[in-house]
Copies of this chain bind each other. A is one copy, B any other.
Amino acid sequence: MADIEKRRGKPVTSYDVAKKAGVSQSAVSRCYKAGASVSAKTREKVRIAAEELGYEPNAIARSLITKRSNSVAVIIPNLTNLYYPEVLAQLGQRFSKRGIRVLLFALETESDAEDALQQIWQYQVDGVIAAAKLSEKQIAEFSRRKKPLVFYNRHSNDHSASAVCCDQAEGAETLATGLVESGHNSAAIICGPPDSVVGQEREQASEARLRELGMTDIVKIDGDFSYECGAAAIDKILDKHGNIPDAIMCVNDMSAIGVIDSLRFEHDLKVPDDVSVVGFDGVGPANWLSFDLSTVRQPVGRMTEAAVNMLIERIENPEIANEKRVFSGILMEGTSARLSG
Q: Which residues of A contact B (CB under 8 A)?
A: 6, 9, 11, 54, 56-61, 63-64, 67, 69, 71, 74, 78-80, 82, 84-86, 88-89, 92-93, 96, 101-106, 108, 115-116, 118-119, 121-124, 144-146, 227, 231, 257-258, 260-262, 264-266, 284-285, 288-291
A257 to B122, CA, bound (A): 44
Asked if A9 contacts B145 (CB within 8 A), the reply is: yes
Task: Count the copies.
Answer: 2
Q: Which residues of B contact A105 (CB under 8 A)?
A: 92, 96, 102
Chain A: interface secondary structure? Answer: helix
> A81's closest neighbor in chain B, by CB?
B85
- With beta carbons under 8 angstroms apart, the residue of B78, B93, B257 that contacts A106 is B93
Query: When A71-B103, A106-B92 are in contact, do A64 and B56 touch as well, CB less than 8 Å?
Result: no
Asked if A60 contacts B289 (CB within 8 A), the reply is: no
Q: Which residues of B contact A262 (CB under 8 A)?
A: 289
Query: When A261-B288, A284-B227, A289-B265 are in contact, do A85 and B92 touch as well, CB less than 8 Å?
Result: no
Asked if A58 contacts B104 (CB within 8 A), the reply is: no
Asked if B60 contacts A124 (CB within 8 A), the reply is: yes
Asked if A102 contacts B101 (CB within 8 A), the reply is: no
Asked if A60 contacts B57 (CB within 8 A), the reply is: no
> Can you name 6 A-B pairs with beta carbons within 8 Å?
A56-B122, A58-B124, A74-B104, A227-B288, A258-B288, A266-B289
A86 to B106, CA, bound (A): 11
> A69's closest neighbor in chain B, by CB?
B60
Q: Which residues of B contact A146 (CB under 8 A)?
A: 9
Asked if A88 contacts B103 (CB within 8 A), the reply is: no
A257 to B265, CA, bound (A): 17
Q: Which residues of B contact A291 (CB under 8 A)?
A: 290
Q: Which residues of B contact A124 (CB under 8 A)?
A: 58-60
Q: Which residues of B contact A58 (CB under 8 A)?
A: 64, 122, 124
Q: Which residues of B contact A260 (CB under 8 A)?
A: 290
